[in-house]
Chains A and B, each alone.
Chain A
């Protein structure tokens, strides 16, 4: 049967490009002199420290805010409002999020403009190092704000598998407060489902280039940014240096993950002790709820305001400091953007749909095969799936490109395959935890009623998974829409998507253009996420227990 071969098929599908990509990095990195050149770079220690500190702290903070929101606000009206604010932000491209934030907090930015000159007395912007600060605080803030929507969505997709309401009721009946009840009763069931998304966020935070370039320090930049800068140099002799940097980056991400898993154990031990102490902590509920609302709304609001600022820039004529609003409005940017947009949008949509749907089908087949064989993927096998998330993309791509050229593949087919490599891990990430968390007794029950394996899949698991599957599809869409380098390199520049247009145009840092393209880039993924919310709501309108 085909299904039995699914894991092998998916793994070989992933292993070949990943191996080719890694070989493309390891080969040049081991060339004589490459590692020495990297070690001789005086900024190495600081770049490594920046990478580690911003990556780890942003992941911890984002997770903390998400847990806080879920623990204190769920079911409340504030929660619904917060979710409505945060969900569309998931579709916001990282570069646009960073530029929006930068415009908000820069000394010549929107906040300073709102207060100038009447409150501050500034007629020219002050010389303050807010952006690109040497400790990476702005970068951490940006990463936290951008990753909260992703983690929240992952948590909301996983939560129904944990029986959270029953656990909360039980905890409350024992006198626990909302927050402590959530942390002691729900979190132990929820966190295992959130572990992989957390690790993905950690890897992303450490390898992201756009956010680091815009918000992060430059003297030196975080390692990932420096690797990207080396790779972009015309001097072909720096390629081995870039490859060595990428290899160190890979080790760094692995080390950070190890650190994360160690910290996890320490936290579990701490929580266990707190549980045994029987802390009810009901007095904390109100202040924690206020804190959750402030942080969630503050960070989400900052992103939304930044986006609004960029949107306004896309219509702005002249707009100088300290004016709060543009002096003149113009449509020239949008008229320019409008040319040839239909074809580009269709290409983007077709690529995104194809790669996300295929990835979803493959992941479902993989997980279903797992369930039928009662055997999970081995750790090395899982590692192959995760590698595209962990290795800096810039390091994986030269190898992938060489593979595509050797296979004679080019154009749209190669781009589709490349997207699949980066989309599939995210789809797997979004779907594997909810899939594996389905109560196995349901299947046993169905079998005892005479339902065969196929029927159990189509009529039991798939409907149960409708919401997480659609969410995974939407995440896949968003990931595909966001791919820049794979599209450019594998397509030989002949496949144009909204993102290749947007990145090329914004490589100059022109706020007006970035504003326009950020809105356009958001459009397709937003549709995906809207469907992931609407379809289950419609399908389950007569099934109350499935509606949350």
Chain B
């Protein structure tokens, strides 16, 4: 059945690593910067490392048995994966994943292309309200942030399942805490990570000689270069992310962002943010009287030469677009010092999914080193992996180290630290506040 026996072998070997995220191997300590950590690990890693990380656990063996049974049930199932369909590169990747699922596990994977993830949330909610508790239309959904919070709050998700997946022990839950904490909400195994994303700024080096070094310098640059910068209109997620990015550098106590918004303190905490925004608004593209609608619309403005600095939630986007001929070859990326917001993309299974087993197999397949390396290839997707390279077998690690970053992609060291997403209530509150301040009068 399995076209690639190494996969099964891989699964068994790594199943013996402790499954709980807290129980890591003692040699690998959490560090402020995941990137320095990765480098450190790469050096630490000898041929013995993988073997040293294998304390046998009887529990793992049990779950291995049930996994075999689950594989048998999954075979022949059809999995309907609801995922945003706005990027042909992602669509191609999902189609490729479907061929793998069919060849290895006999699972048919169908991609339901959404224009917004909220459509899938609404579908499951409508099914629950109509009493359809089995045989639902959504088997798997690409999700994070508010959508996950909403589905959890309404008890619309199946789980916990993520930490029982055979490939789960490979996930870098310490170096990449966003893999188990979704906008400060612990995932508790109700969703499984599959890709890391981090905010990076993109600039045209033909028109901007030296990009701003930090967010304060970005403000000065915007004011000195009127009409050459803008951000997507909140509540668009990238526009709200930009507000959060500014908030991170202007707020006095960053730790407060990890807690829900305190209404009593809110105005004081965000005052510097709104000062920052107010000072640049007259110098924005169109004088702040219009904003692009989305990440793609902002990218199009950069491609059209309407702005000189843009940003995206994918460090590899610029390289991929240059390779596709859609962006000038002179575009490069940078991150302001102090880090940029990073988060993870997840897969979740609705409570009434028809192909629950098949969906788990897909969630596990996408965590395999081979698939993760393919996703990280800038020619394919350019999504950063959720795995800890240290825990991979040398030949799997080589898949990642062999990747060409692409002409405009920063190396992991240059990317800078990833800032944790603030609590989801900040997203809601900032978007609402922005709309009240700028969203209703031109």
Contacts and interface: CB of A to CB of B under 8 A. Distances in A.
Contacts of B262: none
Contacts of A511: 300
Interface stretch (A288-296, A375-383, A456-464, A488-496): A488-496
B50 interface: no
| Chain A interface SS verdict (over half) | loop
Interface in A126-170: 127, 129, 131-134
B366 to A, nearest CB: 19
A201 interface: no
A320 B328 contact: yes
B126 A507 contact: no
Interface string B55-73: 0000000000000000000
B6 interface: no
| Chain B interface SS verdict (over half) | mixed
Contacts of A213: 293
Contact of B113 (A316, A321, A505, A512): A505
Interface in B392-442: 428, 435-436, 438-442
B126 A405 contact: yes
Contacts of B286: 127, 129, 132
B149 to A, nearest CB: 8
Interface in B103-157: 110, 112-123, 125-127, 129-132, 137-138, 145-147, 149-150, 153-154
Interface string A310-321: 000000111011
A402 B145 CA distance: 26
Contacts of A509: 293-294, 296-297, 300
B325 interface: yes
Given A125-B306, A318-B328, A507-B85, A493 B439 contact: no
A46 B293 contact: no
Interface stretch (B12-20, B38-46, B86-94): B86-94
A134 B289 contact: yes
B127 A405 contact: yes
Interface string B288-317: 011101111100110111100000000000
Chain A: interface size category: 35 or more
B305 A108 contact: yes
A265 interface: no
Interface stretch (A185-193, A227-235, A349-357, A437-445): A227-235
Contacts of A336: 88, 91-92
A80 interface: no
Interface stretch (A214-222, A250-258, A359-367): A214-222
Interface in B159-200: none
B324 A332 contact: yes
A504 interface: yes
B86 A504 contact: yes
Contacts of A57: none
18 contacts: A108-B301, A217-B442, A218-B439, A229-B235, A233-B235, A321-B304, A333-B88, A336-B91, A402-B130, A405-B130, A484-B115, A493-B80, A503-B115, A504-B113, A504-B114, A505-B85, A507-B86, A509-B300
Interface of B: 80, 82, 84-88, 91-92, 95, 110, 112-123, 125-127, 129-132, 137-138, 145-147, 149-150, 153-154, 207, 226-227, 233, 235, 285-287, 289-291, 293-297, 300-301, 303-306, 324-326, 328, 428, 435-436, 438-442
Interface of A: 41-43, 46, 106-108, 124-125, 127, 129, 131-134, 213, 217-220, 229, 231-236, 316-318, 320-321, 328, 330, 332-333, 336, 339, 398, 401-402, 405-406, 410, 484, 488-489, 492-494, 496, 500-501, 503-513
What 3 A-B pairs have minimum CB-CB distances, sorted nearest first?
Answer: A492-B137, A43-B440, A504-B85
Given A219-B233, A317-B325, A321-B306, 19 more contacts: A108-B306, A125-B304, A213-B293, A217-B290, A219-B291, A219-B438, A219-B442, A229-B235, A234-B147, A234-B149, A235-B146, A406-B131, A493-B82, A504-B86, A507-B84, A507-B294, A509-B296, A510-B86, A513-B88
